[in-house]
Amino acid sequence: MIELSELINIVSDRQRLRGRWDRLPQHIDYFSEFLRKRRAPTKTTSLIVLPYTKWQSKPDWKKVIALSKYRTLFSVIEELSILLAPAVVEIGIVPQIIPVMERSLKEMNWRTPFVRAITDNGVLLFDKELSIEPS
């Protein structure tokens, strides 16, 4: 069983990525700052960005895992699309939003490939509960 707070602690520590991802793309911090300074999403508890969808594909850091308590996942996509639209227009990078219910994440374990991908390479983009900046 996955504890969401433990998962957030793992992905908020960027130091663990040293060696594999020494330089993260600037759009990660841009989207993160944009959500903190403008209007934070209400239907999303956390956003985690991944470098790629398929193993050994070229990393583009556009896959955004949107963790939510809501069952209507299309509303999470709609809200994030509206919130991130000005940032997308400014920098020209369109994130691919992958909504995941918190409840379904809790049913997984730490060896699940999806969870392993998040813990190995995921970077915290936004968290509603986290009051400090990611390190």
Give the confidence band of 79 by pLDDT, cuts at 50, 70, 90: very high
Asked whether 41 and 99 are in contact (CB, 8 A), the reply is no
pTM: 0.89
| Amino acid at the residue 37 | K
Both structure tokens of 112: 């699940």
Asked whether 32 and 132 are in contact (CB, 8 A), the reply is no
Give the confidence band of 131 by pLDDT, cuts at 50, 70, 90: very low
Spell out the domains of the chain, with CATH numbers in brackets.
4-19+27-127 (3.30.460)
Task: With a cut of 70, say whether residue 38 has pLDDT above it.
Answer: yes
